[in-house]
Amino acid sequence: MAGLFYWNGEIVFHPSPSTVRHFFDLVFVGVGYNGRDQSFTYSKLKYRNHASLPPKRVIRSMKLSRTVVALFLLQVLLLPMVAVAQTADINAQIRKEGMENSKIMHTLHVFTDLYGPRLTGSPNHVNAAKWGTEEMKRWGFDHVALEPWEFNHPGWVNDRNTGLMISPVADTLTFEVLAWTPSTKGVVTADAVHIVIPTTLSSTTPPVQQQPTQEELTAYLNSVKSQVQGKIVLVGKPSSIDQSREPSPKRIPDEDNAKRYDPDPAKRTAGGPGRPNQTPPTPRPNALTGAQVGEQVDKFLLDSGALVRINESQLDRGAVRAFNNRTFDITKVIPTVVMRNEDFGRISRLLADGTPVRLEFDLRSHLVPEGTTSYNMIGEIWGSDKKDEVVMLGGHLDSWHSATGATDNAIGCATMMEAARILKAIGVKPRRTIRVACWSGEEQGLLGSQAYVAQHFGTFESPKPEWAKFNGYFNIDSGTGRARGMNVFGPPEAATVLRDAVQPFADLGIAGAINSSGRGLGGTDSTSFNAAGLPGIGVSQDPIEYFNVTWHTNLDTYERIIEGDVKASAVSIAAALYQLVMRDEMLPRFKTEDMPKPPPPPTPTPTPAASPRP
Ligand SMILES: [Zn+2]
């Protein structure tokens, strides 16, 4: 034994794991209790029924037995202390490695500055995933792979754009191209026109825009048909953004967060600001859906010979958020951009007062045929005695195309790679296999993770052999904010395991874990696991500026990362990961009779543009 440790409420001296194990082995090898003939064994000697021994040997035997009993009791009493000391030591090592030798900012630099943006189906995404596998190999992971799945759309890459106001004043416009839309035919210069599809305000509070009926839409489009041919068309009203509004809080106050993760469900409060109590408006009779209107307006502009379509970003301070042409087919739409609120507003105000506005665009993109197959990036550290059981962790590596996708979601991927790296670096030999998975196709509907779960695990109703060996999937996908809690699909006992695991990291902001039972597909990849009846673990984070600034916008770059926060997240997750890979029992899961039913499939299926996700 290389050192002493004292127990006085806290550990003063942390023995190394090998010291603890060695001490443990000595005690265990040296002392044993034989239940059958009720004697203790000590080393190679064995003492039986004292009556059969001569008196001196009885005394010697009894003395030795007392020593043996004392040693046994010492072992029993020390057992929990040693286990606690061992965990405390591992936690200290995790913290030190994650804070002092972190690789996370380098990983984020490469994913964003070198390979961003990483749109699904694009060469940038594939190259980022290849680099990620090579990096995990350099860290000593046992197995890395790019696992293909069928995206069924070609990739799309935006090469370069310019957009200018020519008159009444010359200026450069700020915008992003909608993904999977075509290039302009060279440089196009034309007058701007503005059309606003008629909507009706509901009588609810707050009021909601309701879509037109087919008759209303057709009548409106016919009335503007002659105005749009050969023109650059602004579509929709400019947003008016209240400049007096209070900014959203960047961090969740500790007291609020503690209530969210209270171990007692009766004392728990829901997270987030909550939505105002709002009764959904009664649907207008025969009103079209947003998707139906969008499809018809696209066709109208194409058939009418409009040159460029301009949508408005609905964000202030120059931010632009651009999704995709929902058909993924460049022949179904005209070249389309999403323009910043300020430029769109200026042009629409000039047009409204009768001032002609002339614009010029040069938009260039190209398709990538091989992008129809996309890839999930996988890295494994193999387990030992429970190698066939797996604990997964990941996030999506694909991003939207307007920026370099730092907070959505290079961060999720880099954090999980880092959590696994930390355990490898401090010499943990996991009992279960650790598998990092960085998905693609998340932004188009959790496509990569759903394909992976179907291929590897199946579902509760139709399981594959690996389904029974699954021990949880940690997911990060809400920006740069530090991890504040976990939500695991499973029984309350699963949350207890995770709560205990992260409790020593409360000073980093993580409050605990709660359980949930919904199997609906949601905003991010952990729900692909929940949907299959597997324990997805969603990690909640401080909001910082995720939903109001960086989410899917042209501002989502490396500069938005808070180094201390991403390091803290990696450390908390590494600690929870350690417990899941080392514990004797599997992470508790719903028993067969308790498994929640999957929800019925949604109708109509929401499109990515209509149902934003992280
Ligand atoms: Zn995301």
Q: Tell me, in angstroms, the distance from the centre of ligand 1 to residue 368's CA.
A: 23
**465 lies in some domain:** yes
**607 lies in some domain:** no
pLDDT at 57: 57
Q: Tell me, in angstroms, the distance from the centre of ligand 1 to residue 376's CA.
A: 15
**Same structural domain for residues 429 and 446?**
yes
Q: Taking ligand 1, which is a single-atom ion, which protein residues have CB atoms under 5 Å away? A: 408-409, 477, 614
**605 lies in some domain:** no
**609 lies in some domain:** no
**Same structural domain for residues 361 and 297?**
yes
> CATH number for the domain including 502?
3.40.630.10
Residues 6+ apart with CB under 8 A from 429: 384
* Count: domains in the chain: 3
**220 lies in some domain:** yes
Task: Count Cβ atoms within 10 A of the Cβ of residue 64 and give its class: 0-12 exposed, 13-18 middle, 19 or more buried.
Answer: middle
Q: Tell me, in angstroms, the distance from the centre of ligand 1 to residue 570's CA.
A: 17
SS3 580: helix
- Residue where a domain terminates, one of 370, 402, 417: 370
Relative to beta strand 308-312, strand 232-235 is: parallel
Q: Tell me, in angstroms, the distance from the centre of ligand 1 to residue 395's CA.
A: 8
Task: Count Cβ atoms within 10 A of the Cβ of residue 496 and give its class: 0-12 exposed, 13-18 middle, 19 or more buried.
Answer: middle
Q: Tell me, in angstroms, the distance from the centre of ligand 1 to residue 111's CA.
A: 14
**38 lies in some domain:** yes
If phi > 0 it is left, if psi is from -120 to 50 it is alpha, else beta; for residue 43 that is left
**Same structural domain for residues 79 and 214?**
no
Q: Tell me, in angstroms, the distance from the centre of ligand 1 to residue 264's CA.
A: 30
H or E stretch covering 2: none
Kindly report the backbone phi and psi dihedral angles of residue 347, in degrees, each rounded to the nearest multiple of 5, phi listed first.
-65, -45
**Same structural domain for residues 191 and 42?**
no
- How do residues 75-103 score in pLDDT, each as one tens digit? 767 777 777 888 899 999 999 999 999 99
**Same structural domain for residues 143 and 167?**
no
Position 63 confidence tier, pLDDT thresholds 50, 70, 90: low
**Same structural domain for residues 144 and 168?**
no
- Residue where a domain terminates, one of 313, 345, 370: 370
Q: Tell me, in angstroms, the distance from the centre of ligand 1 to residue 438's CA.
A: 11
Q: What distance in Å separates the CA atoms of residue 240 and residue 238, rounded to the nearest whole number? A: 7
- How do residues 253-302 score in pLDDT, each as one tens digit? 999 999 999 999 999 987 654 455 567 778 888 999 999 999 999 999 99
**11 lies in some domain:** no
Q: Tell me, in angstroms, the distance from the centre of ligand 1 to residue 360's CA.
A: 33
Q: Please report, as a single letter, which amino acid is at residue 449.
A: S
> CATH number for the domain including 319?
3.50.30.30
Q: Tell me, in angstroms, the distance from the centre of ligand 1 to residue 397's CA.
A: 8
Q: What is the pTM of this model?
A: 0.85
Q: Tell me, in angstroms, the distance from the centre of ligand 1 to residue 231's CA.
A: 36
Whole-number percent of the chain with pLDDT over 90: 77
**Same structural domain for residues 425 and 493?**
yes
**Same structural domain for residues 442 and 529?**
yes
- Residue where a domain terminates, one of 327, 342, 370: 370
Q: Tell me, in angstroms, the distance from the centre of ligand 1 to residue 4's CA.
A: 48
Q: Tell me, in angstroms, the distance from the centre of ligand 1 to residue 551's CA.
A: 8
Q: What distance in Å separates the CA atoms of residue 91 and residue 14, rounded to the nearest whole number? A: 11
**Same structural domain for residues 570 and 478?**
yes
**Same structural domain for residues 113 and 78?**
no
- How do residues 152-206 score in pLDDT, each as one tens digit? 999 999 999 999 999 999 999 999 999 999 999 999 999 999 999 999 998 888 8
Kindly report the backbone phi and psi dihedral angles of residue 367, in degrees, each rounded to the nearest multiple of 5, phi listed first.
-90, 155
Q: What distance in Å separates the CA atoms of residue 126 and residue 128, rounded to the nearest whole number? A: 5
**257 lies in some domain:** no
Q: Tell me, in angstroms, the distance from the centre of ligand 1 to residue 408's CA.
A: 5
**Same structural domain for residues 483 and 415?**
yes
> Which single residue is written with the structure tokens 């909507």?
199
Task: Give the structural domain span for 472.
Answer: 104-151+374-591
Q: What distance in Å separates the CA atoms of residue 187 and residue 164, rounded to the nearest whole number? A: 11
Residues 6+ apart with CB under 8 A from 367: 154, 155, 156, 157, 330
Structure tokens at 176: 């992003």
Q: Tell me, in angstroms, the distance from the centre of ligand 1 to residue 400's CA.
A: 9
Structure tokens at 580: 């899941």
Q: Tell me, in angstroms, the distance from the centre of ligand 1 to residue 436's CA.
A: 17
**Same structural domain for residues 430 and 410?**
yes
